[in-house]
Amino acid sequence: MSAVESLPADRAVDRLPAARLDERGELKIDYRSIAGLALPLMLNSSLQAVISLTDTWFVGHISTDAMAGMASIYWIVIFFIVLFGGVGLAVQTLVAQSQGSRRLWRAGRAVWVALWGTLLTVPLFAGAALLASPVIGAVGLEAQVQKLALEFWWPRMLGAPIGVALWAMLGFFNGISRPRLTLLTTALVALSNAGLNQLFIFELEMGMAGAAWATNASMLLGLSFALWLFLGGGIRQRYRSHLTWRPDRRSLLRQFRIGMPMGLLYAADLFGLSLFQLMLVRLGAVEGAATQVVMMLTSLSYMPGVGIAMAATTLVGMAIGAGDREWARRLGNAVTSMTVAFMGLLGVTIAVAGPWILPGFMRDGDPNARAVIELGAPLLWIAAGYQVFDGLNLGSGFSLRGAGDAAVPAMLALLLSWFGFVPLAHMLAFSAGEGIVDWLPAVGLGAVGGWIALLAYVAALGIALYLRWRSGAWQRIRL
């Protein structure tokens, strides 16, 4: 029996997140409370999608080659950011559990530990910047596409630590159930990103590099604003955020130990997606551009879905901190169901509207615009199919993250992505003699085949993570 279960219901309801008493005095899940937490997180994640769509729109108005260049490295860039940025991802879990246990000073310290840890990632990102030419060159892209991809890679990698630090700050706000502060910060990033894209790409004629610098500059503004919130007002008084800044080697090692598997979980998934997009860009600029646009459109479903699922990290973490792991299980199940329903419905809606939305991402007069639109429409329907399973993936994965269970999920993602999805996408997409390797069978379905492989992979990962959550193995983890 957990510590909270031993309390009377009227006392337990004051300790547990998203709890209410029904007319018989029994504890029930307060879905209104979940919605109150999830809605700002959904809006915040939607703004993240808007930021990505804004970048895609501006790059698309450079040229189809520029869009293909961005598609070729988009997920590789994100891969390195999440792989090295686990110290920032761990903040929400640690803060939520500290909040649930009423040890509020530990919540403030988790942020500072992550910020110190971010400084240690600077050499790692600098090294990743140096890998650009060998990584992209090995794929065999068209010369102009490769040139444009490299222009984006360098500045984006150099500015990546800013994003990791911003994750840490937003994870704190989410972990203490103040997602509106996260929303305000992200809104600032989104608004400034749009203006800076116009300035850097076109007014200053920096092209693809301008898109990367615009992202870096907007994140720096957001980080500055978040730090101002963190060190001021009620947060300073309640969480002693101005007193817990000193570096602590033991806490730093602990946070990396928790965060690195979290980063690996998403990095393993994103590495497969990055190779997937590289393969489709290798098929041609049309296939690469259509894939990039469809990925950005499906983010309209994916990113709000992330917002709902992130509520599970906070709620599960708080329930565990309060000493009731059974309540954590019930909350994780509820949020996972909500995520699946939302993403499935919105995925179908986007596919239906696809023929009217797709033309807006292409420059007038581009000779490849019609081909990109015609290919993008059926890809949106395949993407709609995997949104349901991606909801299962996100809901289960973020619930596990709230419990600090990341090592096994990371291994599941790595095995399914690298040894299942990547070879399957290669086999289904390429015809004989077209692929990166010659020893795999070649079916030759083109971009459609690659997206079918993506659907199969997301379904397998979603089911695997859900079974891990249902197993209850996470209840034995102590952070």
pLDDT of 184 > 70? The answer is: yes
Q: What is the pLDDT of residue 138?
A: 65
Q: How confident is the model at residue 12 (pLDDT cuts 50, 70, 90)?
A: low
Per-residue pLDDT, averaged over 134-140, amounts to 68
- pLDDT of 294 > 90? The answer is no
**Can you read off the two tokens belonging to residue 219?**
């994140």
Residue 243 has pLDDT above 90, yes or no: no
What is the C-alpha to C-alpha distance for residues 232 and 269, in angstroms, rounded to an integer?
37
Is 156's pLDDT higher than 70?
yes
Say how far residue 30 (Cα) sits from the centre of its chain. Answer: 27
**How high is the pLDDT of residue 459?**
96
Q: Is 191 exposed, middle or buried (0-12, 13-18, 19+ CB in 10 A)?
A: middle
Tokens read off for 256: 């990396």
Helix (H) or strand (E) holding 21: strand 19-21
Report how far residue 139's alpha carbon sits from residue 226's, in angstroms, rounded to the nearest whole number. 39
Q: How many CA atoms lie within 13 A of 248 on its CB side?
A: 15
Average pLDDT of the residues in 360-370: 76
Cα gap 183→116, rounded to integer Å? 24
- % residues pLDDT > 70 (the chain): 95
pLDDT digits (tens, 9 = 90+) for 380-393: 999 998 898 999 99
Number of C-alpha atoms within 13 angstroms, CB side, residue 367? Answer: 2
Return the higher-pLDDT residue of 472 and 145. Answer: 472
Query: Taking the domains of the chain in order of start, what are their residue ranges?
Result: 9-476
| pLDDT of residue 366 exceeding 60 | yes
Kindly calculate the radius of gyration of the chain based on its CA atoms and give it in whole angstroms.
Answer: 22
Residue 345 vs residues 339, 354, 394, 395: alpha-carbon distances, Å: 10, 14, 15, 16
DSSP state, 4?
A: T
Residue 444 contacts residue 427 (beta carbons within 8 Å): no
pTM: 0.82
pLDDT score of 379: 92
Residue 171 has pLDDT above 90, yes or no: yes
Structure tokens belonging to residue 473: 């193995």
Check pLDDT > 50 for residue 1. no
Tell me which amino acid residue 279 is.
M
Structure token pair of residue 446? 């083109």
Give residue 315's pLDDT: 95
Q: At what angle do helices 31-60 and 285-321 cross, to 10 degrees?
A: 160
Q: For residues 131-169, b (16+ Cβ closer than 10 Å) or e, as one string?
A: ebeebbeebebbeebbebbbbbbebbbbbbbbbbbbbbb
Strand 27-29 versus strand 19-21 pairing type: antiparallel
Write the pLDDT tens digit of every residue in 325-335. 999 999 999 99
More confident residue, 341 or 85: 341
Question: Which is it for the CA torsion 161, 316, 101, 33, positive or negative?
Answer: positive
Least confident among 138-142, 280-284, 303-307, 475-479: 138-142
* 28 to 92, 324, 330: CA distances (angstroms): 25, 14, 10
Check pLDDT > 70 for residue 22: yes
Place of tokens 């937003």: 170
Whether the CB-CB separation of 108 and 168 falls below 8 Å is answered with no
Mean pLDDT of 242-263: 85
Three-state DSSP at 322 gives: coil
The pLDDT of residue 2 is 52
In this prediction, residue 463 has a pLDDT band, given cuts at 50, 70 and 90, of very high
Give the mean model confidence (pLDDT) for residues 91-111.
Answer: 90
Rounded Cα gap, residues 3 and 243, in angstroms? 31
Q: Indicate the average pLDDT of the chain.
A: 87
Cβ burial of 471 (10 Å; 0-12, 13-18, 19+) is exposed
User: What's the mean pLDDT in 214-227?
Assistant: 95
In the predicted structure, residue 201 carries a pLDDT above the cut 60:
yes
Q: In this predicted model, which residue has the larger pLDDT, 310 or 67?
A: 310
